[in-house]
């Protein structure tokens, strides 16, 4: 993404029950010298979570036109030393959204580091949602033409908080370029209307928001029952005293 670039690391080891995640495993990340003239440059460290996964944000000064990164685990008491390298080329997605006759169209271009159009690459265009992107334009992906361009018409009726929508144009898991994402933030969606009654006095609200009738009626019934019992006990006491 334009904001930053990162590496995703997934570490597994072969155990008795197959491959298992390597949790809390330290990795060192290097910018690798492919010429063999100078030593690899250490750019940071990262530790995997309990699922054996980690995300390493690459410092901007180490992002190059064509870069090889090496991720290495060493001197760990539980696992043997291991390393993996990946080479990626710099590429950019220029994405815009245009309006014509109350219709919106997303237009995107895939350009190399020298601003040369990149053709025959599949781009996904979607609306960002909580559990993934919702495809836009009726197609799962779009293939760039000779100008490196694609476009998709945006359907009407998308909802968003305060009408805000976040569209994404994604080059997914390319062997040459990795995963590249361009964000388009807009505010022409249908505002979400909050119809929740959770904080009102309803049967399904929190205990502090219990309906008034559930507070009043049961208490009246309890007071009435205890009043009757008190009167009965008092009368029994009077009967007992009169006999004596």
State the 10-residue block means of pLDDT for the chain, 244 residues long: 85 87 93 77 93 92 82 90 89 91 92 90 93 88 94 91 93 90 92 79 80 87 94 90 79
Q: What is the pTM of this model?
A: 0.68
Q: How far apart are the C-alpha atoms of 7 and 46, rounded to whole Å?
A: 10
Please tell me the predicted confidence (pLDDT) of residue 15.
Answer: 80
State residue 53's pLDDT score: 94
- Nearest C-alpha neighbor of 81 from the set 91, 92, 71, 68: 71
Residue 200, CA distances (Å) to 15, 193, 197, 218 in order: 53, 16, 5, 20
């Amino acid at each position: 993404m334009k904001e930053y670039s990162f590496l995703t690391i997934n570490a597994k080891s072969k155990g008795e029950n197959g491959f298992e995640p390597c949790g809390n495993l330290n990795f060192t990340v290097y910018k690798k010298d492919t010429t063999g003239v100078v030593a690899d440059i250490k750019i940071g460290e990262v530790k995997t979570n309990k699922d054996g996964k980690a995300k390493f944000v690459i410092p901007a000064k180490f992002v190059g036109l064509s870069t090889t990164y090496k991720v290495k685990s060493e001197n760990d008491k539980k696992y043997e030393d291991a390393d993996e390298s990946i080479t990626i080329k710099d590429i950019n997605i220029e994405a815009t959204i245009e309006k014509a006759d109350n219709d919106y169209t997303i237009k995107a271009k895939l350009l190399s580091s020298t601003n040369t159009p990149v053709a025959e690459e599949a781009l996904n265009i979607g609306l960002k949602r909580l559990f993934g992107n919702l495809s836009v334009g009726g197609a799962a992906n779009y293939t760039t033409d000779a100008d490196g361009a694609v476009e998709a018409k945006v359907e009407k009726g998308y909802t968003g908080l305060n009408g805000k929508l976040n569209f994404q144009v994604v080059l997914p898991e390319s062997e040459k370029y990795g995963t590249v994402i361009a964000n388009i933030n807009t505010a022409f969606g249908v505002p979400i209307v909050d119809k929740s009654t959770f904080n009102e006095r309803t049967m399904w609200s929190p205990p502090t928001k219990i309906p008034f009738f559930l507070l009043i009626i049961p208490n009246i019934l309890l007071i009435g029952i205890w009043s009757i019992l008190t009167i009965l006990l008092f009368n029994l006491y009077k009967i007992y005293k009169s006999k004596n």
